[in-house]
Structure 1
Amino acid sequence: MTENTSFKPSLKLMDATMLVAGSMIGSGIFIVSADISRNVGSSGWLIFVWLITGFMTLTAALSYGELSAMFPKAGGQYVYLKEAFNPLISFMYGWSFFLVIQTATIAAVGVAFAKFTAYLIPQFSEDLVALDLGFLTISPAQLLSIIIIVFLTYINTQGINSGKIIQTVFTLTKLLSLLGLIIFGLFAIKPDTWNLNWSNMWDMHKINLDGSTAQYTTMAAFGAIAASMVGSIFSSDAWNNVTFIAGEIKNPKRNIGLSLALGTLIVTVIYISTNIMYTGVLSLHEIAAASKDRVAVAASQQIFAGAGTVIIALMIMVSTFGCNNGLIMAGARVYYSMAHDGLFIRRVGKLNKNSVPGFGLWIQCIVACLWCLSGKYGDLLDMISFVVVVFYMLTISGIFVLRAKRPLAERPYKAIGYPVLPILYIIMGLTFCTLLIIYKPNYTWPGLIITLMGIPVYYLIKKLDKKALLSD
């Protein structure tokens, strides 16, 4: 396949770091602490879940630095899996990435934008009906999310610089907004609430919505931690999006690894600080029972009184808008690489006049919009967390495989803490996945089925491609 144009390296270290941080911070940090609190029941364990997730994210990001320096190509993780293992493994990743991981995430973030817009403009409420087609009812929130996705897709088809400006501006805005929320929240800490939350910080138990509690057995407690981490891992995911866009980053062998380390570190510190602030202004029961899990709204109402809801709504709108821009910008580069391997629609492997995979962006847009209409993206995102971690583990184990297969290959950057940190991530990832299989099977089988469906599809594509070659 020949390209009409080539990627233009336009992103500096700052831009790449903002892509990492901006793609990670969506709506999760404002919401998922409610579910985590219900599962673990104490401030110590709430912060521990975020610490463990942050450590895993940082460890994975530092490990990916070595792979990104070896293969500074568009497609990122897809390319690493292909080089370390085989095209089937990388296709299974790309398949699940296209069907759910990226597209359903774009849909979920888009709908989150619309839901919080409704705080300011009630006409966009998810509880209203904009269209009733008989077999399907569509809310104004769903329509607005589709409009935002289409708009951001169009912006990104106009060239990398268009998306870069939105990403950097919106990410800086939400980082500063979150920092401001943390600072104001720390000044508003209630000593009685703080002491109550931290007086028995390691007493793990389940908090029910009615305020009652239940104790765990030792093994069930491990299952509760794993279930809690589904939310924190989802909130910390998409940090690897910068690897997909490697062909458009200046000095990628240096800047991708640095941006991964800087971006994940910044977000980890912000996330942990935000949760510490939550425990200073809200009791654990208030966090667990927050209306529609909107912990940040409840906290902001304590900090800013009547203006709190509007402040958080604006923050989440900025956050989700910037997050979706990063997801949309980066995702199409994976399909571009798949198309170059003959494993996706061939036209997706060509760049438009603005040197971006325009057709791939629109294909991604269509699937994401369909997810918006389905209303099932949230369930699938919970269920795909298992698969996401499995592919992270596979990719990190690829460092060991490549060091054995290609010991003399150029490695401008080597994974920090190798082999200890990569092994530790794999052990932690295996523990997380095993606990989900045992205690929360509903979080595992749907993602596995979607991923395994890629095997027959891969061989069908290869068979069709072979027939096409023979006929030529």
Structure 2
Amino acid sequence: MHQESGHLKRRLGLTSAISITVGAVIGSGIFMKPLSVAQSLPSEGWIFALWIGLGLVCLFGAFAYAELGAMFPEAGGQYAFLREGWGPAVGFLYGWVFFWAINSGTMAALATAFAEYLLPLLQIDKAAHPLSVVGVASLMIFLLATVNHFGVTLGALLQNLSTFAKLGALGLIVLGGAFAAAGHGVAPTTASDPAVQSLKVSGLLTAFTGIFWAYEGWYQLPFNAAELRRPERHLPQGLIFGMLLLIVTYTAVNAIYLEVVPFAEMRQLPAGADQQVPYLAVMRIFSPQVAAYLTLLVAISVMGAANPNLLCSSRAFYAMGQDGLVPKRLNWIHPRHGTPSVAIWSQALWAILLVLYLKEFHDITAFVVFASFLFYAMTVAAVWRLRRRLPDHPRPYRCTGYPLTPALFILVTVAFVVTLLLDPVERHNALVGLAILAAGVPYYWWRKRAVGAARGEG
């Protein structure tokens, strides 16, 4: 009786759709990546060009995802798009990498960042208590899993609250910084202008990785298409409005960072001191006392960014369970709460295990970005394939700028993935991603034969 599946319920509106898109993206990136981006580029102009330009690249990808999501408003999101566009094998391999690397790695990295920001606020020395980071990170994942276990409405409420909180806080930074700069209330610095440097491929790669990590998560909303009240309208609107809001927010925040912590000063900060840029900005705009609570802002932001990894992504495993590609338990819907509770908890527990092994924040973010972009390009390319293969299929929304916008997205992402593979520093992360992908091939064929044999016996 308890094995029977229920149905995902359509409870989410446009506000939740935009909130999921924005909340899935704004996390650690806008706080921890501006320093590495600034130190890898030769001028402020390049900083703004890449934050805006790569945001537009992600927006072009969102156009394609919006068309696919409106065509296939079912649970599964990117898994369903790849399955329909390229066949079940490609869809499964995405789900495989998504479970073992992309989604779980993102959750583990965000949970670790959450713990590292929250512990100083609690006056806990992680050096004196080495298990404190693991404990707090695991507790965060456990709490998010519990919230999402009890219903999509509760999970969406948490998402809305955290999104509004961090947008409001970032808005205060922007407005406070603009007011202080206009009134000359920001203390000047003594940093000298950095030496003029030429643009290097290694610098571009660092900047691309950091900015793409900051935008990571824009694809999450289609996983919840089966729970949107009007997916044919709310899914495209949620993706597009959410991405535009993100580009404007990131550009404004970076403008304040550079106004309050000048480019020359950023270049002289120690490499890896990622928290210093937002800390110095808040300290100079408001006060050292307010800056001390920046850790709480970042912790809330990170937790809000991690929530969609359970609110949305478990729906992909639910869809794979329906297709017989994963154990049936992942297909189980809680009869009372209407959530894929087994999928939620299995992903949460695996992410907690990964917390024990994650070491460097940069390595895990580079690894997640590489693994993600392999399938982003294939998903966007599915728009072209499905236009030819299913020309008469209803398309409530058609990709804006087709075929130019998907072509530009694929060009940038393929170039980025190839550069990661060729770079001697980042190659290790890329090869680990390829190894996980390759490990899914024999499992897929074994699972397919096992399911076929079971059906033959029936």
- Give the letter for the 1:402 counterpart: L
Aligned-partner Cα distance in 2 for 1:407–1:371: 43
Query: Which residue is 1:343 aligned to?
Result: 325
Aligned-partner Cα distance in 1 for 2:412–2:327: 37
Change (3 A) 1:339 1:194: farther
Aligned-partner Cα distance in 2 for 1:204–1:128: 42
Within the candidate set 365, 372, 391, 1:388 is matched to 372
Query: Which residue is 2:343 aligned to?
Result: 360
Aligned-partner Cα distance in 2 for 1:448–1:309: 41
Does the 8 A contact of 1:97 with 1:103 survive in 2? yes
Aligned-partner Cα distance in 1 for 2:91–2:168: 37
Q: Deviations over 1:78-100 (max 9, x none)?
A: 00000000111111111111011
Does the 8 A contact of 1:194 with 1:279 survive in 2? no
Tell me the CA shift for residue 461 of structure 1: 1.4
- Give the letter for the 1:253 counterpart: E
Aligned-partner Cα distance in 2 for 1:323–1:384: 15
Task: Count residues with an aligned counterpart.
Answer: 446
Tell me the CA shift for residue 427 of structure 1: 1.3
Query: Which residue is 2:126 aligned to?
Result: 126
Tell me the CA shift for residue 196 of structure 1: 8.5
Q: Structure 1, unaligned stretches of length 5 or more?
A: 130-137, 206-214
Tell me the CA shift for residue 227 of structure 1: 2.4
Using the TM superposition, name which of 452-461 and 67-76 deviates more: 452-461
Tell me the CA shift for residue 194 of structure 1: 10
Aligned-partner Cα distance in 2 for 1:437–1:393: 16
Q: Deviations over 1:321-342 (max 9, x none)?
A: 2222222111110110111111
Corresponding residue SS for 1:412: coil
Aligned-partner Cα distance in 1 for 2:315–2:301: 23
Query: Which residue is 1:180 aligned to?
Result: 172
Counterpart mapping for 1:123-272 below 5 A: 123=124, 125-129=125-129, 139-189=131-181, 205=197, 221-272=200-251
Q: Deviations over 1:85-132 (max 9, x none)?
A: 011111111111101111111111112221111231122x43233xxx
Does the 8 A contact of 2:5 with 2:331 survive in 1? no
Does the 8 A contact of 1:300 with 1:311 survive in 2? no
Q: Deviations over 1:114-172 (max 9, x none)?
A: 1111231122x43233xxxxxxxx52122011111111111111111111111111101
Aligned-partner Cα distance in 2 for 1:3–1:415: 37
Does the 8 A contact of 2:36 with 2:206 survive in 1? no
Tell me the CA shift for residue 192 of structure 1: 9.6
- Give the letter for the 1:337 counterpart: A
Q: Deviations over 1:361-381 (max 9, x none)?
A: 110110110111212473233
Tell me the CA shift for residue 55 of structure 1: 0.9
Corresponding residue SS for 1:292: coil
Does the 8 A contact of 2:216 with 2:369 survive in 1? no
- Give the letter for the 2:295 counterpart: A
- Give the letter for the 1:360 counterpart: A
Aligned-partner Cα distance in 2 for 1:67–1:424: 18
Within the candidate set 266, 290, 293, 2:274 is matched to 293
Aligned-partner Cα distance in 1 for 2:163–2:217: 14
Using the TM superposition, name which of 289-298 and 188-197 deviates more: 188-197
Tell me the CA shift for residue 204 of structure 1: 6.5
- TM-score normalised according to structure 2 size: 0.92
Corresponding residue SS for 2:307: helix
1:321 aligns with 2:303: yes
Does the 8 A contact of 1:188 with 1:303 survive in 2? yes
For the aligned residues, what is the CA RMSD?
Answer: 2.2
Does the 8 A contact of 1:36 with 1:228 survive in 2? yes
